[in-house]
Structure 1
Amino acid sequence: MNLRQILNKLAIHRKLEDKQNLKGESSYRKVAIATCFGTFLEWYDFLTFASLAVIFGPLFFPSSDPNSGLLASLATFGVGMVVRPIGSALFGSLGDRIGRKPVFMITITLMGIATVGVGFLPTYAQIGIWAPVMLVTLRLLQGLSAGGEIGGGAVYLAEHAGNKQRGFKTSFLQLMGPLGILASTIQISLLQSLLTIEEFQSWGWRVPFWISLLLLLIAFYIRRSLEETPVFLELSKLDQTKSQLVNNFKDSEIRKRMFLLFFCVSSSGAILFFCVQVYTAIFLKTSVKLDSSFVDKLSIISTLALFPLTIFTGWLSDKIGRKPVILTGIFLGTTLILPIFQLLMFLGGNYLNYESPLILVCLALILILLSSILALVVGPQTAILAELFPAKNRNSAATLPHNLAAGWIGGLLPLIITSLNQFWEDSLIGLWYPIVLLGLAGILAFLFLPETNRVKLNP
């Protein structure tokens, strides 16, 4: 064989490799789009309720005290978060046993049905006590569904991402929560600008829930063509697709990593997410007394800033490691949350008096700073969530602590902060709750959280 023939063979081999890489990239893009869209729908459905918490108070929990109605509305939102761990235990175990894909189809259908149902609920004025009872029931169904989807989606995407640039590739999934809030906020802001207050409170608030039906049909169609993850297919060949939920707690190393995921990574991400994306808007509307439409516009700006920041931190975690990026976000959150909210109150009060464009810019920049802190924790989160556990245990071991943190720590955060503020009659005192938790999480993560960005996800 002469030199020309050797070079021709090498060229042909290189072309075949390039085609395989292109096919792999195309396949991953399809998986990423389908996974992200479904997770977006879950978050859109789940967080539309949070965006309407102030509206739901008088509609479903009428009271002579507006604070009581707000607390009841936030408690109903928290109920959906509290049951998320139950959904994660159920669907995470199913994901280890029957596969990641079938669970996706079940969870997205359940979430869609429950959310559309909220859009057709009669209010307290129409059927009395049955209105909040039915609302809480639908929130429970939403929580069960979200428990299986959020966390399970991270495992599914990470197992498809391969072993290179996994932090960057999977960081896009973390954008779906902010994107869900953004879509919900834009819709509500648009509806409020087009409708009168009476029209919005009568039927306009239902529109985002009705739109869920169309999004559900699109997501179901896209997900129907998804393939099972290569990792799970290998496990099924090895006959290792059994429920591992109980075994997770028997293994000391897995048990330790589940705790670290719960308390250090997922709790920190949930605390910052609900502080930045949920509670900040409630704080500006209720404590600072800024106009709702004005706060919604600020929220849109900070959420848009979060998108490139999250992708950047996911990429950065591939370069310098997951641990240093996450630790930076945790410690910045611990030290800056209180002074940032103090500054928001000061600037917000001055804006009410002067309506200065400079104050407006400062408020927007502060919210972008909060988004930057959040991005440092959630950017690498999808990757590390899967990397901490072996393949046969991954779905159940990752989804349970992740949803426990999001549900019990993050989901109850607005309610606990608001309750502490009202009890002590101080709009800022409740922030010490997330600050203390973040501080403890940062210390434990610094001491015990392993670096995982070089871990292989194969069985």
Structure 2
Amino acid sequence: MQKQNSHSYRKVAIAACFGTFLEWYDFLTFATLAVVFAPLFFPSSDPNTALLASLATFGVGMVVRPIGAALFGSMGDRIGRKPVFMITIALMGVATVCVGFLPTYAQAGIWAPILLVSLRLLQGLSAGGEIGGSAVYLTEHAGSDYRGFKTSFLQLMGPLGILFSTLQIALLRGHLSPEEFLAWGWRVPFWVSLILLLIAFKARMALEETPVFLELIKKGQETESQLINNFKDPEIRKRMFLLFLCVSSSGAILFFCVQVYTSIFLKATVQVPAKLVDQLNIYATLSLLPMTIFSGWLSDKFGRRKIVLSGLILGALLILPAFYLLEIAAIGARANHPSSVMVIAIILIGLSGILALVVGPQTALIAELFPAKSRNSAATLPHNLAAGWIGGLLPFIVTWINQYWGNSIAGLWYPSIFLAISALIAIKYLPETSGTSLIK
């Protein structure tokens, strides 16, 4: 029986994770190509202005994530986790494929950025229902043994989405001339998402509803909308705030600092060759994968709280020094000095380790904080609010602060201070959830 249960969980985990991988791949390909989109969709005599416009468009998709979370999270508590998965994957896939067929500003004028922003909004709504809801779905299937380890694999989907996107772009840059890449090469990753969409949709058709939700059906609670009730309950409201600030916002800040902004910083700010940056990011992402799983396992042994706290504290202390060192090492990297390239690689891998400490236990922690009947809506809203408003806008805010102060590092004070505040609050208020029963 145990063998059958393990096989069933693996099947559920693979299907759920692949769908989430597609969501992240679609959503983050935009970030990977932000520097390319700037001149294509936001032409300007000032390259910094064009880059800010491109980053703002990326941020728009993040800002509407809470709306998608409120809509689809509430639906997940009413009609089930599985139907919501089918809707979100279809919405994300269609919006992403359409980006690959958009005309540029030179071809359609002002309609080009308008259409790009509109599709980005649809991506954000879809991601709001998927990311967070998938954590609840997988955790409710995971059982009680080694829950942190088994659910940590979901956190690999973001890095894998970036890795797959980055590999494609690196290959395209390697085989196409710069003119060909700007003309049509950048569209290929969006076209590929159509194939991934068909695979993910078929896989999700075979998913089963979670045993926790099936138990709620027996109790007649599945049709209740819990979103408003969550804010009326002081304990749930407190835990939603802790999830927002100490877990999801901090994880999002680290994710976008490590996986998104480092690439933008190295390419656009300190002018390291794009091809080299893509290669280094691939190595850093590959290192993140085992560290994330290891952190999930550690959270089963020592508790979610201790592992997450260690990541918050290290992030607050080391982000600024890491980017100072990246700026210094970039001087040698531009001249292709091996020692400087190695320094950048070590820094990126070290930052990935800090990120892993926060996100490894995150999937299990998100679900364990809340009771079953309100779990989907209570978890998805603060998680996506944090990722959208705090994490998603981070590249834009950091770049804007840098430009305002005329300093390439000044903006990094923002994530450093935020992580420090989150760590202090987590030390006092964040509960330990390891071993919590999910059927309650």
TM-score normalised by the shorter chain: which range applies? over 0.9
Cα distance, 1:408 vs structure 2 = 0.2
SS at match of 1:441: helix
Dislocated runs of 4+, deviation >4 Å: none
- Distance, in Å, in 1 between the alignment partners of 2:344 and 2:112 is 38
Counterpart residue number, 1:296: 278
Determine which of 70, 91, 102 is the counterpart of 1:110: 91
Counterpart residue number, 1:282: 264
| TM-score, scaled to structure 1 | 0.95
- Distance, in Å, in 1 between the alignment partners of 2:232 and 2:94 is 37
Residue type of the partner of 2:176? L
Residue 140 of structure 1 pairs with residue 112 of structure 2: no
Cα distance, 1:434 vs structure 2 = 0.5
Determine which of 384, 396, 402 is the counterpart of 1:403: 384
Determine which of 221, 228, 236 is the counterpart of 1:254: 236
- Distance, in Å, in 2 between the alignment partners of 1:165 and 1:61 is 48
Counterpart residue number, 2:60: 79
Determine which of 257, 261, 267 is the counterpart of 2:249: 267
- Report matched runs for 1:213-252 at 5 Å: 213-241=194-222, 242-252=224-234
| TM-score, scaled to structure 2 | 0.99
Deviation sequence 1:268-300 (CA, Å, 0-9, x none) = 100000000000010011121100000000000
Counterpart residue number, 1:40: 21
- Distance, in Å, in 1 between the alignment partners of 2:210 and 2:332 is 54
Residue type of the partner of 2:152? S
- Distance, in Å, in 1 between the alignment partners of 2:397 and 2:227 is 30
- Distance, in Å, in 1 between the alignment partners of 2:354 and 2:27 is 23
Residue 356 of structure 1 pairs with residue 347 of structure 2: no
Answer yes or no: is the 8 Å Cα contact 2:19–2:200 preserved in 1. Answer: yes
- Distance, in Å, in 1 between the alignment partners of 2:261 and 2:286 is 17
- Distance, in Å, in 1 between the alignment partners of 2:341 and 2:61 is 34
Give the root-mean-square deviation of aligned CA atoms: 0.6
Residue 313 of structure 1 pairs with residue 295 of structure 2: yes
Counterpart residue number, 2:364: 383
Cα distance, 1:189 vs structure 2 = 0.6
Residue 55 of structure 1 pairs with residue 52 of structure 2: no
Cα distance, 1:166 vs structure 2 = 0.3
Counterpart residue number, 2:102: 121
- Distance, in Å, in 1 between the alignment partners of 2:274 and 2:153 is 29
Residue 330 of structure 1 pairs with residue 324 of structure 2: no
Counterpart residue number, 1:432: 413
- Distance, in Å, in 1 between the alignment partners of 2:36 and 2:262 is 17
Counterpart residue number, 1:9: none
Counterpart residue number, 2:2: 21
Cα distance, 1:352 vs structure 2 = 2.3
Residue type of the partner of 1:143? G
Cα distance, 1:351 vs structure 2 = 2.5
Counterpart residue number, 1:94: 75
Residue type of the partner of 1:377? V
Residue 418 of structure 1 pairs with residue 374 of structure 2: no
Counterpart residue number, 1:149: 130
Counterpart residue number, 2:322: 340
- Distance, in Å, in 2 between the alignment partners of 1:450 and 1:408 is 24
Residue 160 of structure 1 pairs with residue 161 of structure 2: no
- Distance, in Å, in 1 between the alignment partners of 2:218 and 2:180 is 58
Residue type of the partner of 1:345? E
Residue type of the partner of 1:274? F
Residue type of the partner of 2:196? L
Determine which of 156, 162, 167 is the counterpart of 1:186: 167
- Distance, in Å, in 1 between the alignment partners of 2:54 and 2:334 is 27
- Distance, in Å, in 1 between the alignment partners of 2:35 and 2:329 is 23
Residue type of the partner of 1:329? G
